[in-house]
Amino acid sequence: MKKQLTFYFIRHGRTLWNEQGLMQGHGDSPLTEQGILGAQKAGKALQSIPFVAAYSSILKRTIDTAEYIIGERNIPLFQHKGLNEQFFGKWEGQWVETLREQAEFKQMLSDPANYKAETNGGETFEQLAERAMSTLQDIIKIHDKGNILIVSHGHTLRLLLALLGGATWQNHREEGKSVSLLNTAISVVHYDSEKGFSIEKVNDAGHL
């Protein structure tokens, strides 16, 4: 059977740790007032889209964001740990500005092909790419047509969108292949089981 789906990918709302400049990853912190407002604005921007389902990671910041986007609408919301943020190991909860001095942190940002996550015991981009794409395929197996809301995280969505646009996990941080996603920005990707993926827009923050 032919499948036709449209995915609305949204990074979670701004959080306390975002404000404090701390690495988040699998660590979690609550949405700020700005984060809640951003999610509500995204919900308003998408209120005319008839979603058949919504998915978030298992981390509270994405669950809360998804619930604010959905509001009073009757849209089933599911959690999938494959949508979690990249795991940063012992870097989580640490000051980002301090971490920027470390060679492997610089490598993570600029040379994903050679980032081994050795000093932090975290997750490589290869591992992240495999689970993010696998998760998307899980969701595609469940639905045949319609609009799907997906609320996830900065690194996860940046890599996933780059992969869907033809980049690789090794080169996705090169200029022009991906962008750093704003909190509650909207990216839209169409899926056709015969034609594959096509990206309509990335990092749209017009509603904010």
How many CB atoms are closer than 10 A to CB 136? 25
Known binder of ligand: residue 25? no
Instruction: Give pLDDT tens digits for 67-115.
Output: 999 999 999 999 999 999 999 999 999 999 999 999 999 999 999 999 9
Average pLDDT over residues 31-44: 98
Reply yes or no on domain 7-146+168-188 having CATH 3.40.50.1240.
Answer: yes
Domain spans of the chain, in order of start: 7-146+168-188
Known binder of ligand: residue 16? yes
Instruction: Give pLDDT tens digits for 110-155.
Output: 999 999 999 999 999 999 999 999 999 999 999 999 999 999 999 9
Exactly one of 85, 123, 155, 172 is catalytic; which is it?
85
Active site residue 85: yes
Burial of 205 (0-12, 13-18, 19+ CB in 10 A): middle
Q: How far is CA 104 from CA 26, 27, 99, 112, in A?
A: 19, 20, 9, 10
Among the listed residues 135, 136, 129, 114, the one whose alpha carbon sits nearest the alpha carbon of residue 167: 129
Exactly one of 12, 153, 155, 172 is catalytic; which is it?
12
35 has pLDDT over 90: yes
Known binder of ligand: residue 131? no
Q: Which tokens is 113 given? A: 């092909």
Please, which residues bridge with residue 77 across strands?
54
Cα separation, 28 vs 46, in Å, equals: 26
Active site residue 101: no
Known binder of ligand: residue 14? yes
Known binder of ligand: residue 155? no
